C-alpha cells in the first residue's frame, strides 16, 4: 500500500469512531459498508478484493473495540480501536494482495502515526461537545 493509502487507512479508523460517537452504530455500520464499496470501486482491479476486505474487516474490528470502550473515555476508545483496526487492515490487505506480511511493520507504524496524530483533535472535539452540550450516541 502506498504511503497515502496508509495515511488514509489510519485516518478512516478514527473518523469511523467519530461518526459512531455522533450518529450511532447503525450509521457507522452503513458508512463502513459504503466505504467498502468505494474501496472496491477505486482500487486497482488486482487489489479490489484485498482493499475491500481489509477495509470491511478492519472497520468492523474497530467498531467492535470502540463501542464498549467509548463508555470509559473517548481517547482510550479511539486509540485502542484504532490499533486493533490498523493491525487487522494491514494483515488482511498484505496477505490477500501479496500473500506476504513482509511489509507489516511499516504498515502498522504508518497507520499508528495517523491514530496518534488524531488524539489531540479528538480530545478537542470531546471538550467542545461537552462545552456546547452536544449529546453523543
pLDDT, tens digit, 9 for 90 and up, residues 20-32:
888 888 998 998 8
In a domain, 137, yes or no: no
Q: Which DSSP category does 70 fall into?
A: T
The residue segments making up the domain with residue 127 are 3-132
Contact between 111 and 90 (Cβ < 8 Å):
yes
What domain count does the chain have? 1
Rg (CA), the chain: 15
Question: pLDDT at residue 80 above 90?
Answer: yes
In a domain, 36, yes or no: yes
Task: State the pLDDT at residue 19.
Answer: 84
- Count Cα atoms within 13 angstroms, Cβ side, for 39: 26
Write down the pTM of the prediction.
0.77
Q: In the structure grid, which three cell numbers stand for residue 119, read together?
A: 488524539
Question: pLDDT at residue 76 above 60?
Answer: yes
Instruction: Report d(CA 26, CA 44) in Å as an integer.
Output: 29
Task: State the pLDDT at residue 6.
Answer: 60
Amino acid at each position: 500500500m502506498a504511503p497515502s493509502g496508509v495515511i488514509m487507512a489510519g485516518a478512516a479508523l478514527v473518523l469511523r469512531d467519530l461518526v459512531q460517537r455522533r450518529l450511532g452504530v447503525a450509521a457507522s455500520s452503513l458508512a463502513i459498508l459504503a466505504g467498502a464499496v468505494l474501496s472496491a470501486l477505486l482500487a486497482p482491479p488486482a487489489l479490489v478484493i484485498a482493499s475491500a476486505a481489509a477495509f470491511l474487516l478492519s472497520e468492523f474490528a474497530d467498531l467492535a473495540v470502540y463501542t464498549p470502550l467509548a463508555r470509559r473515555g473517548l481517547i482510550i476508545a479511539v486509540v485502542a480501536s484504532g490499533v486493533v483496526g490498523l493491525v487487522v487492515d494491514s494483515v488482511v490487505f498484505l496477505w490477500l494482495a501479496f500473500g506476504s506480511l513482509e511489509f507489516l511493520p511499516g504498515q502498522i507504524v504508518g497507520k499508528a502515526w495517523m491514530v496518534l496524530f488524531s488524539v489531540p483533535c479528538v480530545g478537542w472535539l470531546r471538550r467542545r461537545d461537552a462545552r456546547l452540550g452536544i449529546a453523543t450516541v
